[in-house]
Amino acid sequence: MRILLCILGLLFLFPSCKTPEARKPVSIKSGSFIDESINRNKQLAAKEEARIQRIINQDTSNSYITSEGGFWYFYNTKDTVSTRTPRFGDIVNFNYNVQDLNGNTIYSKKELDTITYYIDKEELFLGLREGLKLMKAGETVTFLFPSYQAYGYYGDDNKIGTNIPLKTTVTLNTITKESTKEN
């Protein structure tokens, strides 16, 4: 009897020494939603950029510049003497308006008033944040932003809806250098 109990004990012991095996997932996700979303966004971006390109081609009175950030702009007033552009932490004072690509005013300069902004330290939509870094004090620039450079999918929860490309005219009034901290 003792031998039988020892044999049964050994039979139960050996399977418990087995290393744990990874379990297979119950359901397999293919990632197709993400792939579809990427394709939709690429198509939307291409459509918006083609529309902006048509506007640029029709506007023969201005010389547009393509930015590295994926938006277009031209100078209404250009400073050819100064070389100082805003850097991280600098304080800029500016006015701007917001229009759709058809020229309909969404926010006027009067409505938005004068803005004081710490470069890259406060919230501002991506395109305008990058556009300000290209400007010098006293310049006025008109920017054309595809929606992914503006308010994107979410809009501004007020007057700007989903995926709206924007046209803004910005006047950079002053640049104040970031104060250096002394110990």
**Domains of the chain, residue spans:** 63-176
pLDDT digits (tens, 9 = 90+) for 132-173: 999 999 999 999 999 999 999 898 989 999 999 999 999 999
| Structure tokens given for 1 | 């009897």
* Per-residue confidence (pLDDT) for residue 15, from 0 to 100: 58
> Exposed, middle or buried by CB within 10 Å (0-12, 13-18, 19+), for 145?
buried
**CATH class for domain 63-176?**
alpha beta
* Per-residue confidence (pLDDT) for residue 33, from 0 to 100: 82
Distance separating alpha carbons of residues 28 and 176, to the nearest angstrom = 55
Top pLDDT among 43 and 19 is at 43
**DSSP label at residue 23:** P
